[in-house]
Structure formats: structure tokens, C-alpha cells
Amino acid sequence: MMHFADSLTFSGRKAVAAWAALPFPAFSGSSLPDTFSAHQQDVPWKLLSSWREQKVSCCFAQSVVLRGICKEKAASCPGQPRSPLQSCESPEQVLQQYLHTQFPGAFSTSHVLRQPCDTRPPFPQFFSPLLSSRGFLQDRAQGSSSAGVESIPVLAALQSSPVLHSLLSGLCRDLRARNPRRCSSFFTAGVEQDDFQEALEELKTLAQCYETGFGADGSEDEADSD
């Protein structure tokens, strides 16, 4: 995993953020181009960190894996021009085209796997009743909810993106707000005060590597510049 993350980081960056759509929001019988076309304004996966919810507007590099989606192409209406997603010949091309549209200029790798994620017992059944037994969305709940969801389509992504500036800056602020001298076990474990301060400076420097030069993130560094 460390070497994999290294392949997505450069320019002093060392961390990536994990995102996932579990399940991937696809309607039963819909094609992959149709599903992605419904998410042109915002990507259909969420940040897995406990940090406050953030939208992804850009990224530097990413690796995305989609599994469990049917391979049918989108149905085109006569007389209407085909969209770039509908013109793709394979699910891999559809995913790559979508990533290119949402994150132009980013280094992206993608993979599409046919096998869905198995969610039969003992996997917890915390899914919406609007999901079919194969994990696809339905307009309304059908059948008995006790039948459970046997499998789901899943999308997972690792991204090196500006979101990590907020995540790392917030972690740095939280650590600065605590007085390690009050925790005797902290230094008993072998951590020196100078090493702790040096680690904070390294964390702040790492957070700055994810700045894009615009947006609200700059104000956070000013707050940290004590």
C-alpha cells in the first residue's frame, strides 16, 4: 500500500485520501454512461475521513476501481447526438472519460471489475430498502426486507487532492491546541518535546504541499503561522 500511495504522490506530497461509494448509486437496468451522466455536478463517492464533508473540485492524481456494474452501453435516442460517455466502447473507457471530465489534467488510473462486493451474512444488513438483492437502486421498495442484499456494486478511490490541505491543517491545529506536558505517558513512551515540535512543523509543511493557490484554504495557514 505504501508503494501504491507513492505512485500517486509527487512535489513533496506523501498522503492520499480514501473515498468510496458503498453501494455505487446505479439504478437497476441502467447503463454505466447513464449512471455517470446523472452525476455531472458532483462525483458519487464520499470522503471516508471523519473530517467535515468536503466536495472534490480537483485533484493531482488518483486511482479509481469500480466493481459490480453491468456492461451494457447507454441507449441513445434517435435524432439526438451521442454524448462522450455514450460513445465509449467499454466500461473502462466510460470510467476514464468521466474522470477526465471531472478532473481535467489529473493523472488518473482506473479499473473496472465485473465481480461485485459480496454482502451476504455475516455482512451487516444496514442497506436501504430501496436496494435490490444485487445492490442496485429501485424507485420503490419491493419484496421483503428480510431477504437482505446479497451483493453491491462499489466504487473506491485514492486521491491526492487539495482536500488533504484542510485535513492535515486541521490535524496540526488540534495537536498545537493540546499541551503534551500534561500527558506524562506521552513523553514516557520516548517522545521528546523537540521531536514533537519538529513533527508538527513537518506536518504543517506537508499540508502546504496540497495548496492550490486559490480558495479558502489559505486562511487556515495564516491561522497556523504562530
d(CA 80, CA 72): 19
Give the rounded percent of residues in the chain with a pLDDT score beyond 70: 78
133 exposure class (CB count in 10 Å sphere: 0-12, 13-18, 19+): middle
Q: Report the candidate in 89, 106, 126 with the shortest Cα–Cα distance to residue 10.
A: 106
Backbone angles phi, psi at 135, to 5 degrees: 85, 15
Task: Spell out the domain ranges in the chain.
Answer: 1-160, 165-209
148, pLDDT greater than 50: yes
Name the pLDDT band for 119 (thresholds 50, 70, 90): very high
pLDDT digits (tens, 9 = 90+) for 80-108: 557 888 888 889 999 999 999 999 988 99
